[in-house]
Amino acid sequence: MFENLSERLSGVFDRLTKAGALSEDDVKTALREVRVALLEADVSLPVARNFIKAVEKKATGAAVTKSVTPGQQVVKIVHDELIAVLAGEGEPGALKIDNPPAPILMVGLQGGGKTTTTAKLAKRLKEREGKKVLMASLDVNRPAAMEQLAILGTQIGVDTLPIVKGEDPVAIAKRAKTQAGLGGYDVYMLDTAGRLSIDEELMAQVEAVRDVANPRETLLVVDGLTGQDAVHTAQNFDERIGITGVCLTRMDGDGRGGAALSMRAVTGKPIKFVGLGEKMEALETFEPDRIAGRILGMGDIVALVEKAQEVLEAEQAERMMKRFTKGQFNMNDMRMQLEQMLKMGGMEGIMGMMPGMGKMAKQAQAAGMDDKVLTRQIALIQSMTKKERANPQLLQASRKKRIAAGAGQEVSDLNKLLKMHRQMADMMKKMGKMGKGGMMKQAMK
Ligand code: GDP
């Protein structure tokens, strides 16, 4: 579905990964080409621009991982940024359909694939989630559309609301709701009418249906081949109706794929599903990492860089452990530990993972060691000079005063930190002697 974009990008990166050491210019040139490739794929200009900016920033600040080339590193950064641009919150394709019967409103322009997608999704909910689904067509202007949904329903074994001639969309929506309640359905799907373009009458109708149905999900179905038009359609529907997600259809075609990349960034709404053909099975959840992988087509390099980063982290942890067991535990180490603790849910979190540290955890709690305290301690360490951090024994009265003042705290606060530092250094040494390095490593991950 992203063949063209993917080909362009892999061309750019092939050249980049083959080069030995990369200069800043190499990266700049490559990113310029990436930008052109994105624009050619019909990604909107601001999205392409922000994308490049983000990659550039990360590429400049990236820690160099040994055993991968800088070019490979850039590929990984682009890959991660693609995921960031594509991703919404939560599980891919997750729908809020707990309280039965949950209404799903399907909206979109005519010919976008709304009816097909309604049936595909119903089939999926039935087969993968064991839901009992009722579908109803609200397209009163096109009897053929109502018939089409009924036929699809029979084909996939999902019930459709019987057609009553002359009923208006709001009345049909109400009947669907009643029927869904009486029939013990988990979900009912309302397939609204589409028009060739957005018009007032259509919007007013969909709005009226929305107000009676109070949908848990409002999914816009748009043709992915229409590129930025698809994104504009989504913006329009979202402003007027409020959508919760997008289904991009015809992603099996050799479209330029730009709609997928711009959708989330421009509308703020996640793509939940992609249509990949006319068959009822041809619906996939939209998984940002898989899509990013397909766009780049460089999964091997991404995996390689990930692996190298893991190895690097493991080596760092190992080196640190070795130093700790020799009694070398300076303020830089302390700071890293405090930062880790913050990340891992505070003192209690980390101590809980280290057997034998229960007592210290209790003391820490008694001393009011919450996240705020950790942050204040980190500030104290930041207030030290490089030399002081490496050799905490240098800290005599005048230095202490300066450090405390620099962090806006009292000398007594600093003394508490130093006491804790000594306790931790002792503990590390003892643990090392006990040969329990493995535990510490685990706790630091
Ligand atoms: P609606 O007017 O929005 O309800 O559109 P339909 O559901 O009737 O779909 C219009 C046409 O697009 C039909 O021929 C569908 O089979 C086709 N279609 C829908 N989704 C896809 C898709 O993901 N890929 C392809 N290739 N065709 C699709």
Structure confidence by residue, pLDDT tens digits, 384-411:
999 999 888 899 999 999 999 999 999 9
Please tell me the distance between residue 360's alpha carbon and the centre of ligand 1 in angstroms: 64
In percent, how much of the chain has pLDDT > 90?
39
Q: In what order do the strands lie in the sheet with 159-160?
A: 159-160, 133-137, 187-191, 102-107, 217-223, 245-249, 271-275, 283-285
pLDDT value at residue 60: 73
Of 397 and 340, the one with more pLDDT: 397
Three-class SS state of 222: strand
pLDDT at 44: 85
Query: Which candidate, 90, 75, 105, 85, places its Cα nearest to that of 43?
Result: 85
Are the CB atoms for 223 and 255 separated by under 8 Å? no
Please report, in range form, the residues annotated as the binding site for GTP.
108-115, 191-195, 249-252
- Residue 435, pLDDT above cutoff 90: no
Residue 24 to residues 59, 60, 301, 317: CA-CA distances in angstroms? 9, 8, 20, 30
Would the CB of 40 count as within 6 Å of ligand 1? no
Q: What would the pLDDT profile of 151-203 be if each residue is shown by its tens digit?
A: 999 999 999 999 998 899 999 999 999 999 999 999 999 999 887 777 888 88
For ligand 1, whether the C-beta of 255 sits within 6 Å is no
| Domain spans, the chain | 3-88+297-301, 102-286, 326-444
Confidence of residue 247 (pLDDT cuts 50, 70, 90): very high
Measured CA to CA, the distance from residue 14 to residue 17 in angstroms comes to: 5
Q: Of all protein residues, whose CA lies closest to atom 5 belonging to ligand 1?
A: 113
Residue 288's pLDDT is 86
Taking the CA atoms of 113, 115, 118 and 119 in sequence, report the sign of the dihedral they define. negative
HSE of 401 in the Cβ direction (CA atoms, 13 Å)? Answer: 2
Q: What is the CATH number of domain 326-444?
A: 1.10.260.30
pLDDT-derived band at 79 (thresholds 50, 70, 90) equals confident
Each residue of 99-125: pLDDT tens digit? 899 999 999 999 999 999 999 999 999
Query: Is the minimum distance from the CB of 100 to ligand 1 under 6 angstroms?
Result: no
Distance CA 169, CA 208 (A): 9
User: CB of 278 closer than 6 A to ligand 1?
Assistant: yes
Binding-site residues sit at: 108-115, 191-195, 249-252
Distance, in Å, from the CA atom of 368 to the CA atom of 370, rounded to the nearest integer, reads: 6
Terminal-to-terminal C-alpha distance of the chain: 38
Q: What is the reported pLDDT for 438?
A: 47
Convert the pLDDT of each residue in 19-28 to its tens digit.
Answer: 566 677 777 8
CATH of domain 102-286: 3.40.50.300
Looking at every residue in the chain, the average pLDDT score rounds to 83
DSSP per-residue letters across 18-64: HSSSPPHHHHHHHHHHHHHHHHHTT--HHHHHHHHHHHHHHHHHPPP
Atom 12, ligand 1: residue with shortest CA distance: 113
CATH topology of domain 3-88+297-301: Four Helix Bundle (Hemerythrin (Met), subunit A) (1.20.120)
Pocket test residue of 105, 116, 123, 189 for ligand 1, highest count of atoms within 8 A of CB: 116
pLDDT value of residue 340: 73
Instruction: Please give the torsion angle defined by the CA atoms of residues 408, 413, 419 and 425, in that order, rounded to the nearest 10 degrees.
Output: -40
* 408 or 342: which leads in pLDDT: 408
Distance 133 CA to ligand 1 centre (A): 21
Name residue 241's amino acid: I
Lowest mean pLDDT among 57-66, 161-170, 347-356, 363-372: 347-356
Give the Å distance between the CA of 108 and the centre of ligand 1: 12
Report whether residue 284 contacts ligand 1, using a CB cutoff of 6 Å. no
State yes or no: pLDDT of 442 exceeds 50: no
Report CA(163)–ligand 1 centroid distance (Å).
Answer: 22
Q: How far apart are CA 354 and CA 368, in angstroms?
A: 20
Ligand 1 pocket, residue 110 CB under 6 Å:
yes
Q: 331-356 burial, b for 16+ CB within 10 Å, e for fewer?
A: bebbbebbeebbebebbbebbeebee
**Is the pLDDT assigned to residue 348 strictly greater than 60?**
no
- Does ligand 1 have an atom closer than 6 angstroms to the CB of 151? no
- Is residue 362 scored above 80 in pLDDT? no
Q: How many CB atoms within 10 Å of residue 303?
A: 12
Minimum CA distance residue for ligand 1 atom 6: 113
State the average pLDDT over residues 325-332.
82
Query: Would the ipTM clear 0.90, i.e. be above it?
Result: yes
Residue 377 Cβ contacting ligand 1 at under 6 Å: no
Report the separation in Å between the CA atom of 244 and the middle of ligand 1, taken as the mean of its atom positions. 21
pLDDT, tens only, 279-323: 999 999 988 888 887 777 665 666 666 777 777 777 777 787 788
pLDDT above 70: percentage of residues in the chain: 84
Ligand 1 lined by 103 (C-beta under 6 Å): no
Q: Find out whether the beta carbon of 108 lies less than 6 Å from any atom of ligand 1.
A: yes
Q: How far is the CA of 146 from the centre of ligand 1 (A)?
A: 15
pLDDT at 143: 85
Please work out whether the CB of residue 421 comes within 6 Å of at least one atom of ligand 1. Answer: no
